[in-house]
Amino acid sequence: MIERRHLRNLLAMADTGSLARAAERLHLTPSALSHQIKLLEDYYGLALFHRHTKPIRLSAAGQKLVALARDTLPRFEQVERELARIAAGDAGRLHLAIECHACFEWLMPVLARFKARWRAVDVDIRLGLAFDSLPALRQGDIDLVITSDPVETPDLAFVPLFDYEGLLVLPDNHPLTAQPWIQPEHLAGETLITYPVPSARMDVFKYFLQPAGVAPAAVRQAELTAIILLLVTSGQGVAALPDWVMRHTPHSRSLVTRPLGAAGLHRTLYAALRSGDRELDYLRDFSNFAREHQTAAHAEPERTVP
């Protein structure tokens, strides 16, 4: 069976043209090198070089193995270097899925900072796994899930990122702006503008409307936060959005927010990881960067446009 040392041996012989010089390069004795080559020849029943020629002349079989060595040995060395960097915590992979459309408002600046710090980490956002993400995380298809729905399971760790509040966003001339907070029945006659997400996955339905047995008069969906805000501004409905959206996105002064319920609708966002990956330095940095970004955003005034 061909081993990597066999390829190194033949490559050294091809490069030096001499068994003695090849042995010196490999830190072997000539007899030890000759013995290793002979074992490989016996295994395949083929001569790998023509003996008693100077310089050494490889057989057709030997030339094929040298070509293989030139192709694969650099790859082995590259992978070994990458594995060493991963073991040292300097490299790796961060493929993530997001269970909330609005997370893009803070995620992109966090990833920009992350990639500047961890240039050797392969970063990707797997959009197609948004709502089938935990099985993909367990299987190793992705490495992190942004979610507000932790589950009790020993193979996954849910690292808290930050708390947030769900707010109802209204045009400033809407009758509900007279309310200090929103009750579920206030939305029974409203068009609720949402992201294209199943209602069972949305906080406003799962924790606010459905427990009260209330449904909005209509639901309208839009892919982008900017479109949702534009629709609300133009009086075509109301929207329930996390508080960071109104901090991170410039919005018209004609928009008003109200808490959902007297106590507000407060939730926590988590980074879900495989339990064995929790101590990886670059994954820990991602969580820290997300927290720091939100802390800084809370300290800034909301951005508005006339």
Domains of the chain: 4-87 (1.10.10.10), 92-161+267-305 (3.40.190.10), 163-266 (3.40.190.10)
- Closest listed residue to residue 11, CA positions, set 66, 74, 58, 77: 66
Rg (CA), the chain: 31
Q: Is the pLDDT of residue 306 over 50?
A: no
Q: Is the pLDDT of residue 91 over 50?
A: yes
| pLDDT, position 303 | 47
pLDDT tens-place string over residues 26-68:
999 999 999 999 988 898 898 999 888 888 899 999 899 999 9
Work out the mean pLDDT of the chain and round it to a whole number: 89
pLDDT-derived band at 195 (thresholds 50, 70, 90) equals very high
| pLDDT, position 53 | 82
Q: How far is CA 269 from CA 107, 119, 120, 162, 259, in A?
A: 12, 26, 27, 6, 18
| pLDDT, position 151 | 93
Q: For the residues 2-22, what does the mean pLDDT come to?
A: 90
